[in-house]
Amino acid sequence: MSEQTPTGQPGEPGSTDPRSAGIRIRRADQADLDQIFAIEVDVFASDAWSRDLMHHELVDKNCHYVVAVTDAPETIVGYGGVLAPRGSGDADIQTIATIPAARRRGVGRVIMNELLVAAREARAQRVFLEVRADNPIAMGLYRSLGFAEIGVREGYYQPDNVDAVIMRLDIGGQQ
């Protein structure tokens, strides 16, 4: 895993690095499915993925999923995944979520950085994502990471009929 820090160093006053609060990032596996799915349903209530789809994502060789966990006992407080078929040139952030108590602490940023590392390792040149148009906090995070808005999919998120803002980050040549 990368050791990128969102702001400051872990443990410094004012640091937003979740590792300073005992949260670490690790690769997700099938044993994490129950906790990931519980967060999925809680966070994305009306448009949550099915348990079967989430399981498929976790075992797909072209996907890289990570979880943010607390220690003693280990509890998942966030997760994210990227589809990055080696050699395709493109990667797609499939999903990212954090529990409400972990928000605004840098957890999402660290998860995103891990997913971007995985995309680079798969030799992606571009990373795409869709984000709900009614989620300005997530859009702000993605913009701060260098993503640019490239389009809109009207009514993409159902049953809420919310538009998806399509964003892209060009990472070609960044290794």
Annotated catalytic residue, options 57, 130, 149, 156 = 130
Q: 156: exposed, middle or buried (C-beta count within 10 Å: 0-12, 13-18, 19+)?
A: middle
Block residue for tokens 């993605």: 142
Quote the CA–CA distance of 57 and 78 in Å, as a whole number.
Answer: 16
What are the two backbone dihedrals, phi and then psi, of residue 100, each rounded to the nearest 5 degrees?
-55, -40
Catalytic residue check, 79: no
* Orientation of helix 136-144 relative to helix 107-121, angle to 10°: 50
Count of H-run helices and E-run strands, the chain: 4, 7
Catalytic option among 65, 79, 142, 157: 142
**What letter does residue 7 receive in the DSSP assignment?**
S
142 among known catalytic residues: yes
Contact 129, 93 (CB under 8 A): yes
User: Catalytic residue numbers?
Assistant: 130, 142
